[in-house]
Amino acid sequence: MISLGSVLRDLTRPDPGAERLVPPTGTGAWLTIFSAGVMAFLAVFALALSLAAGRLADRWSDALARTSTIRISAEAAQVQAQVDAVMAVLQSTPGIADARPLSDEEERALLAPWFGADLPLDTLPIPKLVEITEGGDGYDPEGLRQRLAAEAPGATLDDHARWRQPLAAAASRLRLLGWGSLILILATTGAVITLAANASLAANAPVLRVLRQIGAQDGYIARAFVRRFTLRTLGGSATGVLVALVAIWLTPSAQAAEGFLTGLGFTGAGWLLPWLLPPLCGAVAFAATRAAAFRKLAEMP
């Protein structure tokens, strides 16, 4: 059983005696560092994806769940009467905290992305919209629909349920996809490091045999490999995280309500979260190399 203290001691206190046992390798070392860097880079994006998807799911759920809209379609002369009727119904409906008709400017802003900013609302048969904000435990949508049908026949309640559910479900799946990707990337890091360690151990089999013959214990021999691969992975993944954070930081920023791609990033202390990846990758490398080293040594007398 190895303790965290002994692991940290091994990593932070170099043992020149053990270090020099393993011949220096050029290409292999750089490939390990490069692989760790790329994996960490991808892991940061997976983490960002997951966090962004989580934020989006929460935002959509909250925003859509707490608001709904009544659309009033009527002859121009009847519109105001219908609006008044709807407002009267809403004022006497429990579970509604606030209700207000959207102004022409607000409706124009809603339609601007499709028709431009100078849309002449007066000349178009645009329905009037009333925005409802729920309060307390919310209102009964079926009851409200029946009352609206009786008092304001041109009014239609849209409680956003048909929008909210698939959007929230999609965002939740995206979040799961992000976490799943992160786990897969860490597993792949472990596999890559294991392959590199196995290659190094195989190439150094004569060294291992000599060391066993002169009385070196497995732990002593393994330490040289484990320390080397762990530090390479730590260095590579730290570089990968740094590059990924810079890339995300350079991504065009977004306002709170913007789309998914422009919302891919970290907020506040979330920028520190990716820095958990290098120690995590280091731990994966430590475990993978240690297991590979002891497995290889067990084949030797």
Which residues contact other proteins (rule: CB under 8 A)?
17, 20-21, 23-24, 206-207, 209-220, 297-298, 301
Alpha-carbon dihedral sign for residues 152, 159, 145, 93? negative
Nearer to other proteins, 208 or 288 (CB): 208
State whether residue 128 is helix, strand or coil: strand
How many residues are present in the chain? 301
Nearer to other proteins, 113 or 206 (CB): 206
Nearer to other proteins, 28 or 141 (CB): 28
Nearest distance, CB of residue 217 and other proteins, angstroms? 4
Nearest distance, CB of residue 228 and other proteins, angstroms? 14
Nearest distance, CB of residue 7 and other proteins, angstroms? 19
Cα–Cα dist 242/248, whole Å: 10
Of the candidates 245, 247, 246, the one whose C-alpha atom is nearest the C-alpha of residue 273 is: 245
Cα–Cα dist 105/111, whole Å: 10
Nearer to other proteins, 96 or 224 (CB): 224
Nearest distance, CB of residue 210 and other proteins, angstroms? 5
- Orientation of helix 218-250 relative to helix 205-213, angle to 10°: 140
Nearer to other proteins, 213 or 253 (CB): 213
- Backbone torsions φ then ψ of 260, nearest 5 degrees: -70, -50
How many CA atoms are closer than 13 Å to the CA of 153, on its beta-carbon side? 2
Nearest distance, CB of residue 211 and other proteins, angstroms? 6
Nearest distance, CB of residue 298 and other proteins, angstroms? 8
Of the candidates 268, 223, 244, the one whose C-alpha atom is nearest the C-alpha of residue 15 is: 223
Nearest distance, CB of residue 188 and other proteins, angstroms? 31
Q: Name the DSSP class of 156.
A: E
For the chain, the distance separating the N- and C-terminal CA atoms, rounded to the nearest angstrom, is 22
Cα–Cα dist 137/96, whole Å: 9
CB 132 within 8 A of CB 100: no
Nearer to other proteins, 24 or 120 (CB): 24
Nearer to other proteins, 256 or 298 (CB): 298
CB 93 within 8 A of CB 155: no
Q: What is the DSSP string of 234-256?
A: HHHHHHHHHHHHHHHHHSPP--T
Nearer to other proteins, 21 or 42 (CB): 21
Nearest distance, CB of residue 12 and other proteins, angstroms? 18
